[in-house]
Amino acid sequence: MEEVVKMGLEKWVQRQLQADFPNSALEQRLAKYETLRMSNAQIVQTFPKQGQVLKMAIREGLIDKDAVRKDAADKISKQEYQAKLESYMQQKGFKPQRILYQEMVNQKILRATYSENQLQEILTSFWFNHFNVSLTNKNCDLYLTSYERDVIRPNALGKFETLLLATAKSPAMLTYLDNFKSTSSNADLTPAQKQRQERQIQLLERRQEQDNTMQQMQVAEKVRRAKKAQGLNENYAREIMELHTLGVDGGYTQQDVTQAAHIMTGWTINPAIDGYRLDNAPAAINNPKRTEALQKQGFVQEGDFLFAANRHDKGRKEVLGTTFPPQGGYEEGLQLIKLLAHHPSTAKFISTKLATRFVSDTPPRSLIDKMAKTFTEKDGDIREVLMTMVAAPEFWSKEALREKTKSPFELAISSVRSLNAEVHEPRHLATWITKMGEKIYSYQAPTGFPDKGTYWINTGSLLNRMNFGLALASQKIKGISFDLVALNQNREPESAEAALITYSQFLMPERNLEATIKRLTPSLNDPEFGFKVNAAAHKNQAVAQKEPQEQEEQMMLDQPKKRDAEKNTSVANTTFHQKGGNSPMLAQIVGIIIGSPEFQRR
Amino acid sequence: MTTRRGFLKSGALALFAASLGGVPNFLAQATNSRKLMLPYKKNKILVCIFQRGAMDGLMAVTPFTDAHLQLARPSLFMTAAQSSSNPLLDLDGRFGLHPAMKSFEPLFREKRLAIVHGMGSPNPTRSHFDAQDFMETGTPFDKGTASGWLNRAVGLMGHEAATPFQAVSLTSSLPRSFYGDHSAIAISNLQDFGVQMRGNQKAAMAASKNFEDLYDQTSSSLLNKTGKESFEAVKMLSKVGSRNYLPANNAVYPNSPLGNSLKQIAQMIKLDVGLEVAFAESGGWDTHYNQGTANGTFARNVNDLSQSITAFWTDLDAYQDDVNVMTMTEFGRTVHQNGSNGTDHGRGSCMFILGNEVNGGLVHGHVPPLAKENLEDGRDLPVTTDFRSIFSEVAGKHLNIQNEKVLFPNWNGQKIGVIR
């Protein structure tokens, strides 16, 4: 906020749109997460599925098949075999997939909490959700790190067409919506090619019988899957129109979907990164001579993306009244993406979604029209569309104010940010975010999380929001620490009422909180309130002693000075002098503020 | 039965009225809406259990006279022959129930439990993700369907949700089946349903009062309404006491995730909180390695499944007339066992349907002799009954849902008669 005042609002928005604020504090926090710097190929190699590891370990003779069988009946041998499996993984440099998942979720929380380029992070979340892929899908899960890092974030404030194309070529989207296996029903293999393929399969099978190494297993898997029937998959073609560009009422037909699917045949993953994991992976091109030959046939390889010309439908297509002549190859896919990115329905659909994200669950038509106009005139420039939105009077109108309900993620992040909290170990916060109804990166459907209050707020989730406020404020959420009194320049509030007023302003600056304060004041002044809270605090003290390990963790996190202060505070005097200056009474008040209806609104 | 049910209902209501100084708003609404429905329509409850990972239907309910199966499963095949150490429970001379599911046998004999074999999806995918997605959306060829089939079912019930508990999933996050526009909630534990502070009950009570006041006066109608409902619901659960729950008829639930879920569903049913669709999950069915036979991984799984359901049924007692339990799993497993004494991803599996109106005591569906030429892709039990056939019949008849075109778009509506 201070920053905003110093710079002037317009300039701040401009800078945010450039997303070039230095971010060294954040970078430092992210440095320990190795997976964030890994390529798709490295991730695939490091995080094999557990079943795969077991298979390998058995084949390499490290684990006896019968040992696995015994586990069913007898626990000791199960532990033994788990240990064996773990040491095998270590020896091979494999890691369990949950580490990858956890690092992804952790970095998202850290970025949201500490990034100086907030708008870029918000837009990254927005586009990720718009082009949703999911950790629940075990074909695409390993590619999500790169998807967010290389596909979404760099393009979040750029041209829509660039972003759309980047998602279309990303392994995450290609697998999540099945385009990687979509093949023309009339893919034209020459008889010579077919024969070659047949020979190759035979050769591989023979080798497989002789040799049981991991590499051969991968090959065998490839062979098995190569033999499976192939065909057209319309999934991506449908969603690119319905969800990514035109919108469900955007004026396309089933015929358009099928035709677009034909255009996109052959858009797949470079099998060099992980062909063995996937159904119907094409042959890898890693031999330079072969690469040249394939390029002549129309293959295109760009990083993890491959256009496999031999799977592409070479016929004539027509989508939304535009004709794509035969032999269009890779280029016609690019043309289709351009066509969709610049369609008037897309301008309207994207503008509506952005306005829904930033203004209201039901944004005014006039605002959408303005944004869509900019979208069309400025070549789908997302920055320009956002500038139009911010400049519009509708954005600043009274109706738009506090109209949106915070998502669980926004609630959690806004809480730790306004408490100036230190997030040491973000996964505990993630657990609460899940509890409140938003499992990060795990919305299963391609629609992404619905962006509306009625989705987020129900009896179960609302109670969890209140409980989150109480747990956070009383420092019961592990991995997060803060100092409430420090927040108020080390001045203790004089009374519960003063605390309420002061901390409401910290947590919700620039809001009219009269009603909230008025409503709460009588019950805070009720001697019962203080009595109950303090009584509970004593009890808590007892509980704390029972959990030495947890206490120790906390001690290590606290600064020495604070620890001394704590020692000097008598237990009986539980007003505002407690651990880290955070008394139960103060914590209770802050918890109530965080769980209050006003704080649930944006 | 009806009289007893009516008594129980008013009994619970009276208890509230006395302890709360009035009937909670939403409960009053519930009673009103029920009055409109009564006497011909009563609230029915559908309980769905998703077995994630794909259950081996051929081991759960084995066509034990099939020599092809015996050949295909040298170390996994089980027989009903009494001479064997742990024989299958012979259901009809052709199918045998896994011995670890012995608690199902009486229910089957009483004709309340039906089995459908060869059940599955017309989409041949063998990916867990895709197949679960298709089963939960109810659209086996369209992943883009935003809503889940159970959420659509809630919308087709023909009346508004009278309480927040109309559709409840006993999971930590909302399952795909519940995605959609109609209100549905995920509760992983009923005891967490309330304002809580660990080890700090008094402070929690104080905070709860504060929150209630604040939500009561907020200008946001969504927060206001949901807040009201929440606190009423909390009071309701706490007064009747979700802690120290004592199941009826000495029912013993396994101390497993599924057992605990079903126990809580039974509590909600007995509390009459307006539950109509409940969802629970059971895991560990992906038995690629050492599936086991009479003992082992699979046996433990089916034992947990059947014990949990049987305990639930016993516990329900007088409420049984209103409840239907249906299991489902994304696909079955290969007819042949694999190289590691397990089975791989296949096609058809089987499911269990339990209820007083069920056409029970029968193995429905069609399982051909498992010769290679009869198998799907030469390897799997073919899908002979579309899962939508069962889902739509159970939901249609039990929940009285009329519009099947909305429940299962593009489905031909063919039924096989699992409900009487």
Tokens of A95: 């890691």
Query: Do the beta carbons of residue B307 and residue B259 sit within 8 Å?
Result: yes
Facing residue for A588 by CB, picked from B203, B229, B230: B203
Look at residues B297, B331, B273, B324 and name the one whose alpha carbon lies nearest to residue B126. B331
Instruction: Name the strand (E) or helix (H) holding A503.
Output: helix A496-507
Facing residue for A462 by CB, picked from B174, B230, B288: B230
Reported for A507-510, long-range contacts at CB under 8 A and 24+ positions apart, including other chains, are A507/A415, A507/A418, A507/A419, A507/A590, A507/A593, A507/A594, A507/A599, A508/A418, A508/A593, A508/A598, A508/A599, A509/A1
Facing residue for A466 by CB, picked from B174, B195, B213: B195
Residue B28 covered by a domain: no
- Chosen for mutation from A405, A459, A583, A601 (greatest number of chain B CBs closer than 10 Å) is A459
Q: pLDDT category, A195, cuts 50, 70, 90?
A: low
Name every residue whose Cβ is closer than 8 Å to that of residue A257 and which is 6 or more positions away in sequence: A234, A237, A238, A241
Sign (positive/negative) of CA torsion A559, A485, B213, A436?
negative
Chain A contacts of B209, Cβ < 8 Å?
A: 523
Residue B314 covered by a domain: yes
User: Lowest mean pLDDT: which of A58-62, A185-189, A224-228, B362-366?
Assistant: A224-228
Q: For residue range B156-178, list pLDDT tens digits in order.
A: 998 888 788 999 999 988 899 99
Q: What is the CATH number of the domain that holds B189?
A: 3.40.720
- The shortest C-alpha distance from B250 to chain A (Å) reads 29
Query: Do the beta carbons of residue B166 and residue B275 sit within 8 Å?
Result: yes
Look at residues A385, A391, A317 and name the one whose alpha carbon lies nearest to residue A350. A385
Chain B contacts of A528, Cβ < 8 Å?
A: 206
Angle at the Cα of A301 from the Cα atoms of A299 and A302, rounded to 5 degrees: 150
Whole-number Cα distances in Å, B270 to B5, B190, B312, B402 = 10, 14, 12, 27
Look at residues B101, B90, B277, B102 and name the one whose alpha carbon lies nearest to residue B174. B277
Bridge partners for B376 per DSSP: B380
User: What are the start-end ranges of the E strands in A219-326?
Assistant: 267-269, 300-302, 305-307, 317-319, 322-324
The string of DSSP letters for A405-438 reads BPPHHHHHHHHHHHTT-EES-THHHHHHHHHTT-
Q: Give the model's pLDDT for residue B197.
A: 82
Neighbours of A19 (CB within 10 A): 21
CA distance A127 to A350: 10
Q: By the CB < 8 Å criterion, does B75 face chain A?
A: no
Neighbours of B214 (CB within 10 A): 24
Q: Could you give phi then psi for residue B326, rounded to 5 degrees? A: -135, 130
What is the distance of C-alpha A251 from the center of its chain?
A: 30
Q: Give the model's pLDDT for residue A71.
A: 46
Angle at the Cα of A585 from the Cα atoms of A584 and A591, rounded to 5 degrees: 85
User: Lowest mean pLDDT: which of A372-386, A530-544, B46-60?
Assistant: A530-544
Tokens of B176: 């795909």
Q: By the CB < 8 Å criterion, does B186 face chain A?
A: yes
Q: By the CB < 8 Å criterion, does B410 face chain A?
A: no
User: Lowest mean pLDDT: which of A224-233, A426-435, B46-55, B202-211?
Assistant: A224-233
Mean per-residue pLDDT over chain A, rounded? 83
Instruction: For residue A524, give the chain B residue with the closest CA.
Output: B210
Residue B202 covered by a domain: yes
* A206 or A463, greater pLDDT: A463
Q: For residue range A281-295, list pLDDT tens digits in order.
A: 555 555 677 778 888
First to last CA, chain B: 19
Is this complex's ipTM strictly greater than 0.95?
A: no
Say whether B214 and A520 touch across the interface (CB within 8 A).
yes
Residue B10 covered by a domain: no
The string of DSSP letters for A504-559 reads HHHHSTTS--HHHHHHHHHHHHSHHHHHHHHHHHHHHHHHHHH-HHHHHHHHHHS-
CA distance A164 to A162: 6
Residue B27 covered by a domain: no
Quote the DSSP letter at residue B327.
E
Q: By the CB < 8 Å criterion, does A541 face chain B?
A: no
Quote the DSSP letter at residue A63.
S
Instruction: For residue A546, give the chain B residue with the closest CA.
Output: B199
Query: Do the beta carbons of residue A282 and residue A310 sit within 8 Å?
Result: yes
Say whether A529 and B205 touch across the interface (CB within 8 A).
no
Q: Which domain holds residue B207?
A: 40-407
CA distance A172 to A177: 9
Q: Environment class of residue B162 by beta-carbon count within 10 Å: exposed (0-12), middle (13-18) or buried (19+)? A: buried
- Alpha-helical segments (H) within B49-160: 57-60, 67-72, 104-109, 128-137, 149-155
**Mean pLDDT within A519-532:** 72
Residue B416 covered by a domain: no
Q: By the CB < 8 Å criterion, does A460 face chain B?
A: yes
Q: By the CB < 8 Å criterion, does B399 face chain A?
A: no
Look at residues A277, A280, A276, A284 and name the one whose alpha carbon lies nearest to residue A301. A284
CA distance A50 to A85: 9
* B191 or B302, greater pLDDT: B302
- The shortest C-alpha distance from A422 to chain B (Å) reads 22
- Alpha-helical segments (H) within A265-392: 271-274, 288-296, 329-341, 344-358, 365-377, 382-391
Work out the percent of chain A whose per-residue pLDDT is above 70. 77
Query: Which residue type does B194 have?
Result: G
**Mean pLDDT within B381-403:** 95
Count chain A–chain B contacts defined by CB atoms under 8 A. Answer: 182
Say whether A476 and B197 touch across the interface (CB within 8 A).
yes
Q: Give the model's pLDDT for residue A78.
A: 67
Residues 131 to 190 of A: which have CB under 8 A from any B CB? Answer: 136-139, 177-178
Cis peptide before A154 (omega within 30 of 0): no
* A256 or A561, greater pLDDT: A256
Name every residue whose Cβ is closer than 8 Å to that of residue A203 and which is 6 or more positions away in sequence: none
Name every residue whose Cβ is closer than 8 Å to that of residue B294 and which is 6 or more positions away in sequence: B78, B85, B86, B98, B99, B100
Helix (H, G, I), strand (E, B) or coil at B306: helix
Query: Do the beta carbons of residue A599 and residue A508 sit within 8 Å?
Result: yes
Q: By the CB < 8 Å criterion, does B296 face chain A?
A: yes
Residue B31 covered by a domain: no
Say whether B206 and A532 touch across the interface (CB within 8 A).
yes
**Mean pLDDT within B3-26:** 39
Facing residue for A470 by CB, picked from B193, B197, B209: B197
Angle at the Cα of A413 from the Cα atoms of A243 and A7, rounded to 5 degrees: 95
Bridge partners for A480 per DSSP: A423
User: Lowest mean pLDDT: which of A146-160, A242-256, A488-502, B243-257?
Assistant: A488-502
Instruction: For residue B339, give the chain A residue with the closest CA.
Output: A65
Query: Do the beta carbons of residue B412 and residue B404 sit within 8 Å?
Result: no
**Backbone dihedral region of B24: left (phi > 0), alpha (psi from -120 to 50 degrees) or beta?**
beta
- Alpha-helical segments (H) within A37-187: 40-46, 50-59, 65-73, 75-92, 97-114, 118-130, 144-146, 160-168, 171-176
Residues 227 to 246 of A: which have CB under 8 A from any B CB? Answer: 235, 238-239, 242-243
Residue B242 covered by a domain: yes
Tokens of A454: 């009625």
Q: For residue range B25-40, list pLDDT tens digits in order.
A: 555 454 444 444 444 4
Alpha-carbon dihedral angle through residues B171, B174, B177, B183, given to the nearest 10 degrees = 120
Q: For residue range A85-138, list pLDDT tens digits in order.
A: 888 899 889 999 999 999 999 999 999 999 999 999 999 999 999 999 999 888
Q: Environment class of residue A565 by beta-carbon count within 10 Å: exposed (0-12), middle (13-18) or buried (19+)? A: middle
Q: Count of domains in chain B?
A: 1
Q: Give the model's pLDDT for residue B130.
A: 87
Facing residue for B292 by CB, picked from A72, A136, A402: A72
CA distance A445 to A435: 19
**Mean pLDDT within B32-57:** 74
